[in-house]
Amino acid sequence: MRTAIVTATLLLVSGCGATVAQDASKADPVTVTNCGQQVTFDKVPSKVVTNDTGITELMFALGLKDRMAGYVVDGDNTVDLQTSPWKADFDSAKKLADKISKEVVQGANADLVFAGWSYGFSESSGFTPDALKQLGIGTYQLTEACRNGAGKQRGIMPALDALYTDLRNLGKIFRVEARAEALIKGYQQQIDNAAKVMAGKPRPKVFLYDSGQDQPFTSGRNAAPQDVIGKAGGDNIFGDLDDSWTTVNWETVVQRDPEVVLIVDYADGEANTPAQKQAFLEGFAPLRNSPAIKNKRFYALPYAALVESPRNPASIEAFAKYLASA
């Protein structure tokens, strides 16, 4: 078995640099269901502030850059922007800040903030949909990060369903329904093609390793890696957890005996590079007998490919090809 630390450049040709004309005749209010609540938009938002790479790429994929006041992305997350199929859009759109805040969105005169819980929204920072409502600023919440009623756990539907839900909702809000449906159709075909790569082959047990040495941070069944792994032909070892991104313990990782490790590539510091993460796992004594470690089966994808984003289908395709060849 060979070691494969790969940061894939995921090209989605159909989404790159798209520009979609708005139909000004469709001026009636529209209502969508967002995180279980009916939300009405009286007009097409024209000064949207997005937070995080994947969320911003949803707007770019729909050709909505001209509806944005700007975006907020962590300045250290260079791999996301370098590998983005919408790099030209990131370069030409306005970056507002590294961290989102009330001051940032007010300074941009935002009429809509597109973010999610732990993707910008947080009680601890005071940046919440309720707080923005008091300022007269509308919000749209990332469906992957919707809270499901069990404390602060997140996720109310399978990851790809969340992606399609947001594309359809955004299509309706911005009057680009045809564009949204065309994207979804293309993504579904891409995923169907990826399924053929591993058809009839054993499904390896996959451990999604985001970060953490004392306790690992990983993905439950409600975050994008669940479908990236599952649709590629593997099984997420924490697919039984009714949560999205969450902390577990090493004892459980060892017990579940992963055969492949999928690493999140942030490239935001030496300790967080895929090579550093692989070195830690290879030197972590409790895992030394797991098949993933013994056979050096590691694969890495950029952060934006492993959160809800239009990169998910290409991530599935890339990971399926790795599983089939490793």
Distance CA 210, CA 246 (A): 10
Look-up: residue for tokens 């139909």? 23
Q: What is the mean pLDDT of residues 32-52?
A: 97
Residue 11 has pLDDT above 50, yes or no: no
Q: What is the mean pLDDT of residues 127-144?
A: 97
Q: What is the mean pLDDT of residues 115-136?
A: 95
In the chain, the domains with their CATH numbers are 15-188 (3.40.50.1980), 197-325 (3.40.50.1980)
* Percentage of the chain modeled with pLDDT above 70: 90
Q: What is the mean pLDDT of residues 266-292?
A: 88
Residue 25 has pLDDT above 50, yes or no: no
Confidence at residue 1, expressed as pLDDT on a 0 to 100 scale: 37
Q: Are 220 and 239 in contact (CB under 8 A)?
A: yes
Average pLDDT, the chain: 91
Q: Are 183 and 211 in contact (CB under 8 A)?
A: no
Confidence at residue 283, expressed as pLDDT on a 0 to 100 scale: 97
Confidence at residue 82, expressed as pLDDT on a 0 to 100 scale: 87
Q: How do residues 250-259 score in pLDDT, each as one tens digit?
A: 999 999 999 9
Q: What is the mean pLDDT of residues 47-71?
A: 98
Q: Look up the pTM and report it.
A: 0.90
User: What is the three-class DSSP state of 39?
Assistant: strand
Cα–Cα separations (whole angstroms), residue 113 to 23, 43, 283: 22, 15, 43
Residue 8 has pLDDT above 60, yes or no: no
Nearest alpha-carbon partner for 112 in 169, 155, 157 = 169
Residue 75 has pLDDT above 50, yes or no: yes
* Percentage of the chain modeled with pLDDT above 90: 83
In this structure, what token pair is assigned to residue 278? Answer: 């692989």
Q: How do residues 158-189 score in pLDDT, each as one tens digit?
A: 999 999 999 999 999 999 999 999 999 999 99
Sign of CA dihedral 307, 308, 312, 316: positive
Question: Phi/psi zone of residue 178: left (φ > 0), alpha (ψ -120 to 50 degrees), beta?
Answer: alpha
Q: Are 45 and 87 in contact (CB under 8 A)?
A: no
Angle between helices 159-173 and 53-61 (to 10 degrees): 50
Burial of 112 (0-12, 13-18, 19+ CB in 10 A): buried
